């Protein structure tokens, strides 16, 4: 029981430390920090969420190559597509862009209606990703509190998730809605997220190093068959596996640009173009180092934990099963850090879209007529605070609905698939100012419709239905091995 309270106290202390870092950084925002390029590069690692921290290990334990796209996609974009990112940042600064909805709308005739559509799709598509973060935190709390000998919260996960949701909403509001800035720059948030990126990397390296030590120092005859089976999976790669990896790699390449939080930290929070020249090396290196420890953790988890626990929990359950409670708590802190960083930046980015693209046009007409411009700023801050709370409560509701969807990767790919619908319009608009707005609407309508069907398929609501059978992958070489989810995402 004491360990359970220690865990809660440690989590609250860590969140308080993040807020303190952000508060101090905001006090000195008039001056460019000496380490700004490094801070900017590390803030991009908000891409690494609880899916990266917990879920990719679970993926690797089932199929060793499956986590590769999550890391490879962003690495390819920053190493070889950095000129595209540089142009994106240049255009955004020139046109005073504050979100991906603003950017796409601005490139297609400054259409306010298109911005509203993009904002609504982004909110709908990101909700599963927020569910993923809630699920990871609640699962980690559940594991450690049971291990501490206290009362298991397993039967009350909905209440526990609600408590986590409200706490995350509070800290997101404190981080992102203390003041209004026309540029939407949040230096304090960027510095705090950079710190969070260091914490989760060090935690993952520590637990991954522990797993590697187990594999090398305690081979054991009982583990030899598990090791042989694992490496047999590594070698056995079929054309269908390669096709699925290619689909998910392209999806991750789109996501690292089109996820609202990634667009915000990469484009909106960029202060100088030279910061990108640092980021194009530091961010891929960060991903590479973090990715190195996925397979030792997956193999050690299969050896020492096996089927006793869900593979997505190996990062925590592996040290816990061997009595290393301190290491398990460090793993939880790293995963919680990854989840909270994502939630804070994501909800702030979505709240900006809600206020600027959904609410502000209505308020401007009203306040200009009434001559109350001085109240507009206060009202917009209230709108953003309300939007953050409502978005996270909606995520909690979806968490209850998707409760049976245990795989973190399946949830994550749903959100990747949603935001990937923005990629054609964004890339075409970036290089061609005469794109057809009607074509954008048509493409989004078809893509989002297929994405919604994918959501229903993954949630099991279409199990056995004629529509699910109709959407089955074609019986062609390589394609017949695709999962239904991968095929639906490919179609969308």
How far apart are alpha carbons 174 and 167 in whole angstroms?
11
Burial of 161 (0-12, 13-18, 19+ CB in 10 A): buried
Q: Do the beta carbons of residue 134 and residue 165 sit within 8 Å? A: yes
Query: What's the CA dihedral at 26, 30, 35, 38 to 10 degrees?
Result: 70
Q: What is the mean pLDDT of the chain?
A: 87
Of 1-10, 154-163, 337-346, 416-425, least confident by mean pLDDT is 1-10
Helix boundaries (H) for 148-273: 157-176, 187-217, 224-235, 239-258, 260-263
Residues 6+ apart with CB under 8 A from 31: none
Q: How confident is the model at residue 92 (pLDDT cuts 50, 70, 90)?
A: very high
Of 13-17, 38-42, 197-201, 480-484, least confident by mean pLDDT is 480-484
**Considering the domain 2-408 in this protein, what is its CATH number?**
1.20.1730
How far apart are alpha carbons 484 and 131 in whole angstroms?
21
Residue spans per domain, the chain: 2-408
Of 111, 108, 115, 110, residue with least CA distance to 436: 108
Report the pLDDT value the prediction gives residue 222, as an integer from 0 to 100.
66
Q: How confident is the model at residue 182 (pLDDT cuts 50, 70, 90)?
A: low
Residues 6+ apart with CB under 8 A from 314: 54, 57, 58, 61, 297, 298, 300, 301, 305
Looking at the predicted structure, is the pLDDT value of residue 382 above 80?
yes
Structure tokens at 198: 């260091």
Report the pLDDT value the prediction gives residue 276, as an integer from 0 to 100.
94
Q: How confident is the model at residue 153 (pLDDT cuts 50, 70, 90)?
A: very low
Of 420, 406, 410, residue with least CA distance to 451: 420
Report the pLDDT value the prediction gives residue 115, as an integer from 0 to 100.
94
Q: Do the beta carbons of residue 136 and residue 163 sit within 8 Å? A: no
- What is the average pLDDT across 457-466? 64
List pLDDT tens digits, range 307-331.
778 899 999 999 999 989 899 999 9
Q: How many CA atoms lie within 13 A of 308 on its CB side?
A: 12
Looking at the predicted structure, is the pLDDT value of residue 445 above 60?
yes
How far apart are alpha carbons 93 and 366 in whole angstroms?
29
Of 182-191, 233-242, 401-410, least confident by mean pLDDT is 401-410
| 291-327 per-residue burial string, b: 16 or more CB within 10 A, e: under 16 | bebbbbbbbbbbbbbeeebbbbbbbbbbbbbbebeeb
Report the pLDDT value the prediction gives residue 120, as an integer from 0 to 100.
95
| 117-126 per-residue burial string, b: 16 or more CB within 10 A, e: under 16 | bbbbbbbbbb
DSSP string, 62-114: H-TTTTHHHHHHHHHHHHHSHHHHHHHHHHHHHTT--SHHHHHHHHTT--HHH
Of 78-92, 315-329, 354-368, 469-483, least confident by mean pLDDT is 469-483
List pLDDT tens digits, range 246-295.
999 999 999 999 999 999 999 999 988 789 999 999 999 999 999 999 99
Report the pLDDT value the prediction gives residue 435, as an integer from 0 to 100.
75
Structure tokens at 471: 């959407």
Decide which of 354 and 452 is more confident.
354
């Amino acid at each position: 029981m004491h360990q359970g309270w220690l865990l809660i106290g440690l989590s609250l202390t860590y969140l308080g430390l993040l807020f303190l870092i952000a508060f101090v950084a905001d006090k000195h925002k008039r001056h460019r920090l000496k380490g700004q390029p490094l801070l900017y590069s590390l803030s991009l690692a908000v891409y690494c969420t609880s899916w990266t921290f917990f879920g990719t290990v679970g993926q690797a334990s089932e199929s060793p190559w499956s986590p590769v796209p999550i890391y490879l996609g962003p690495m390819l974009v920053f190493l070889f597509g950095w000129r595209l990112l540089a142009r994106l940042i240049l255009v955004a600064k020139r046109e005073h862009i504050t979100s991906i909805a603003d950017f796409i709308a601005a490139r297609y005739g400054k259409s306010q209606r298109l911005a509203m559509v993009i904002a609504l799709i982004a909110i709908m598509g990101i909700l599963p990703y927020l569910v993923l973060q809630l699920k990871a935190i609640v699962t980690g709390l559940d594991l450690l509190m049971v291990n501490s000998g206290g009362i298991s919260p397993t039967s009350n996960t909905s209440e526990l998730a609600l408590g986590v949701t409200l706490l995350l909403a509070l800290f997101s509001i404190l981080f992102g809605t203390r003041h209004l800035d026309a540029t939407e720059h949040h230096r304090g948030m960027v510095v705090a997220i950079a710190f969070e990126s260091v914490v989760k990397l060090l935690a993952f390296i520590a637990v991954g190093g522990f797993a590697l030590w187990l594999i090398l120092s305690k081979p054991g005859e009982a583990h030899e068959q598990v090791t042989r089976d694992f490496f047999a999976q590594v070698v056995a790669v079929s054309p269908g596996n390669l096709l699925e990896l290619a689909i998910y790699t392209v999806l991750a390449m789109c996501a690292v640009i089109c996820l609202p939080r990634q667009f915000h930290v990469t484009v909106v929070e960029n202060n100088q173009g030279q910061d990108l020249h640092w980021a194009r090396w530091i961010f891929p290196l960060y991903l590479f180092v973090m990715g190195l420890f996925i397979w030792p953790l997956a193999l050690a988890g299969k050896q020492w934990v096996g089927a006793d626990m869900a593979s997505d929990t190996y990062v925590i359950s592996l040290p816990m099963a061997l009595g290393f409670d301190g290491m398990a708590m460090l793993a939880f802190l790293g995963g919680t850090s990854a989840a909270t960083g994502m939630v804070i930046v994501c909800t702030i980015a979505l709240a900006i879209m809600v206020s600027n693209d959904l609410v502000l046009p209505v308020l401007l007409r009203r306040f200009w007529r009434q001559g109350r411009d001085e109240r507009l700023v206060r009202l917009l801050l209230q709108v953003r605070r309300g939007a953050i709370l409502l978005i996270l409560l909606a995520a909690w509701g979806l968490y209850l609905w998707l409760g049976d969807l245990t795989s973190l990767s399946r949830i994550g790919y749903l959100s990747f698939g949603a935001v990937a619908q923005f990629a054609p319009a964004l890339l075409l608009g970036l290089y061609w100012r005469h794109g057809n707005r009607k074509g954008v609407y048509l493409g989004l309508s078809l893509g989002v419709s297929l994405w919604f069907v994918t959501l229903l398929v993954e949630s099991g609501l279409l199990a056995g239905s004629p529509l699910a059978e109709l959407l089955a992958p074609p019986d062609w070489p390589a394609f017949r091995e695709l999962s239904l989810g991968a095929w639906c995402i490919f179609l969308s």
